Amino acid sequence: MFRFEILKTDPLTKARAGLLHTPHGTIETPVFMPVGTLGSVKGMTQQMLEDLGARIILGNTYHLYIRPGHELIRNLGGLHKFMSWDRSILTDSGGFQVFSLSKLRKNDEQGVTFRSHLDGSQHFFSPESTVLIQNALGSDIQMQLDECTPYPVSHETARTSMQLSARWAERAKHEWLKTPANPSTLFPIVQGSMFPDLRRESAERLVDLDLPGYAIGGLSVGEPRPLTFDMVAATEPHLPTEKPRYVMGVGSPEEIPEYVALGVDMMDCVLPTRNARNGMLFTSQGRMHIGNARYATDPRPPDEKCACPVCRRYSRAYLRHLYQTGELLASILNTIHNLFFYLEGMREIRRAILTEEFSGYLQANRRAMQDAAVADGDG
């Protein structure tokens, strides 16, 4: 049911264009996955997401386990049916949320005991239980439970943590294999903080498990961005070429082509949706805060080069008015534009790879982003 096909590899970088076949349809890669933590991409209806061309979205195991509960979702036919989304879903294991949100967390070899961030009730996640929860959700791609190493940490701490995550990956695989012909596939997560030798060791241990795809985690946790790129570059050569690579929690529009150039096939990030709700739009000219007074009488679309339904119909002045008055529609329209900007950007990258124009695209992107950074100064 799950198969990855590489259609074209860029001759000058590690970028590739492919097809990811899942039980809920085929996804063109590289792909950006909108984040729908609680079974909803905030501000978007499922119809809007389909219209924007999203083929896969994220759900979150921790949040859905807390509310409404995975058994309730299982009884209602799984997450796809529950939220009326026929396309693919990837669920994060919830490790990151347990470590960042929950109170009184205690982890040991067996798993992690934590208190809900909502009512303080006590819960336990193990590598096995998070597979069972994700089986109940019925996600197309599930993630192993991992320990999220904070930044910065010592080499020794990072090594101990990475090895625990690797043992958890093995246990997750064992549990995952217990469901015959499990329609949900499992990705382990490469850890190792900011140490190339640990990233390598982690990747090698996980590759031994021979799973259908690999995630690179523990990045975008406060480290300088060049270090993030270095860690992806240090990990990539140790992952199998023929399997998809997913870098978790990245990136900004100017960074995405850089990850693609490093051989990354899948990414997710809350930036387009979260920033939209805060009035920040990503445009071909850089970032724009729509609440700015200078847009009050501006009849132009938010981004004159954007073909999204918002830019085709509405003015900066109107969007600014909606934002200033706290209208719900402000969040909705801003999110449509930002998601389109991300999804269309990725489609452009993919076209460039297929036509062997990616290196030129990458260079142009670097120049444009430098110019935008300069223009940003007055935004």
- Summarize as ranges the residues that interact with Zn ion (CB under 5 A): 303, 306, 308, 310-311, 337
Give the nearest distance from C-beta 374 to Zn ion in angstroms. Answer: 22
CB of 283 to Zn ion, least distance (A): 8
Choice between 24 and 316, CB closer to Zn ion: 316
Partners of 111 in beta bridges: none
Instruction: Specify whether 265 is catalytic.
Output: no
Nearest distance, CB of residue 201 and Zn ion, angstroms: 44
Determine how many CB atoms are found less than 10 A away from the CB of residue 97.
Answer: 20
**Phi, psi for 247 (deg, rounded to 5):** -95, 120
Choice among 10, 140, 146, 268 that is catalytic? 268
Smaller CB distance to Zn ion: residue 109 or 305? Answer: 305
* Residue 302 CB, nearest approach to Zn ion (Å): 6
Q: How far apart are the first and last CA of the chain?
A: 47
Q: Which residues of 308-337 are buried (b: 16+ CB within 10 A; e: fewer)?
A: bebbeebbbebbbebbeeeeeebbbbbbbb
By C-alpha distance, which of 39, 43, 49 is closest to 329? 43
Amino acid letter at 276?
A: A
Nearer to Zn ion, 262 or 306 (CB): 306
**268 is an active site residue:** yes
Name the catalytic one among 10, 92, 146, 303: 92
Cβ closest to Zn ion, residue 112 vs residue 311: 311
Query: C-beta of 270: minimal distance to Zn ion in Å?
Result: 19
Element containing residue 150 per DSSP (H, E)? none
Q: Could you write out the DSSP letters of every residue in 41-83?
A: -TT--HHHHHHTT--EEEEEHHHHHHTT-HHHHHHTT-HHHHH
Minimum CB distance to Zn ion smaller for 143 or for 308: 308
Q: Residue 176: which of 126, 212, 128, 114 has the closest Cα? A: 128
User: Catalytic residue positions?
Assistant: 92, 268
